[in-house]
Amino acid sequence: MKEKKKHKVFMQGPVSPAFIAESIAKHSVKTNIGAHDIFLGQVRNDVINGKEVKAIAYSAYEEMADEAVYRIREDAFEKYDLTCMHIYHSLGLVRAGEISLFVFVSSAHRGAAFDACREIVERIKKEVPVWGKEIFEDESYSWKQNKEAI
Amino acid sequence: MTVKVLFFGPAADAAGRSELVLEGAVDTDELRQRLLGLFPKLRQLGFLMAVNKQVVQEKAVLGNQDVVVLLPPYSGG
């Protein structure tokens, strides 16, 4: 059985390592799973014009963002043989070194989990209306720009 | 006829507001021109528009009470 229950995607503040660990632990009862693939997006301390990013403040057009994530989920379940999938994205302030995106894909075998996870992450960056404001040590800021996967 | 315009992220920054109610905009091209006139900083930004949560790539006719959202390039993740 595929688990397609919807949960809230956006959470206030960083995704904590404890939350991630707990999510992994919850899957031990699903013994038909043979492979998990997890992507964790971490806020990086980029240096822009000589100033170091100390945090990113995320905002979203939530109504549309929820729909966009739902579409990505549905497409991934359709395309890949997945057992379950969880997507969490931060809103508000996330400091450098903290986690802002958690994508957790499970399947019977590793191929589907690897492929789906990458595609989901790429689509989240392209299709979900979220904006990151990079905040520097002196409280000035600039708007984050997403690059193609490198 | 009125439309509600919502601004997010860098668009909210450029417009100095998150919301605006405008009268008389017939379509998205005209609305875009009016917004660029009202908020010149939007010119440097580049943005798509969504009407009632649907992204429009070409000119779309606006109806009364439509919600138009300015979408600068996304930067989530």
In a domain, A86, yes or no: yes
Instruction: Kindly report, residue by residue over A48-94, the tens digit of the pLDDT.
Output: 999 999 999 999 999 999 999 999 999 999 999 999 999 999 999 99
CA dihedral of residues A24, A26, A28, A30 (deg, nearest 10): -110
Distance set, CA B46 to CA A30, B32, B73 (Å) = 46, 11, 8
Instruction: Kindly report, residue by residue over B5-56, the tens digit of the pLDDT.
Output: 999 999 999 999 999 999 989 999 999 999 999 999 999 998 999 999 999 9
In a domain, A98, yes or no: yes
Contact B77 A67 (CB under 8 A): no
Domain count across chain B: 1
Task: Write out the residue range of the structural domain in which residue B17 sits.
Answer: 2-71
Q: How many whole angstroms from its chain centre is CA A61?
A: 16
Taking every pair of Cα atoms in chain A, the longest distance, rounded to a whole number of angstroms, is 52
In a domain, A107, yes or no: yes
In a domain, B77, yes or no: no
Contact B53 A126 (CB under 8 A): no
The CATH number that applies at residue A82 is 3.90.1170.40
In a domain, A4, yes or no: no
Strand partners, A38: A104
> Which residues 24-43 of B have a C-beta within 8 angstroms of A?
none
Tell me which residue in A121, A125, A131 faces B8 most closely, judged by beta carbons: A131
- For the CA atoms of chain A, what is the radius of gyration? 16
Q: How many whole angstroms from its chain centre is CA A21?
A: 15
ipTM above 0.90, yes or no: yes
Domain count across chain A: 1
Give pLDDT, residue A1: 44
Task: Write out the residue range of the structural domain in which residue A87 sits.
Answer: 10-23+32-143
In a domain, B76, yes or no: no
Q: B20 and chain A: CB distance < 8 Å anywhere? A: no
Instruction: Kindly report, residue by residue over A94-140, the tens digit of the pLDDT.
Output: 999 999 999 999 999 999 999 999 999 999 999 999 999 999 999 99
In a domain, B18, yes or no: yes
Residue of B nearest to A134 (CA): B75
Cβ neighbours of A131 in B, within 8 Å: 8-10, 72, 74-76
In a domain, A58, yes or no: yes
For CA atoms A62, A66, A72, A76, give the dihedral sign: positive
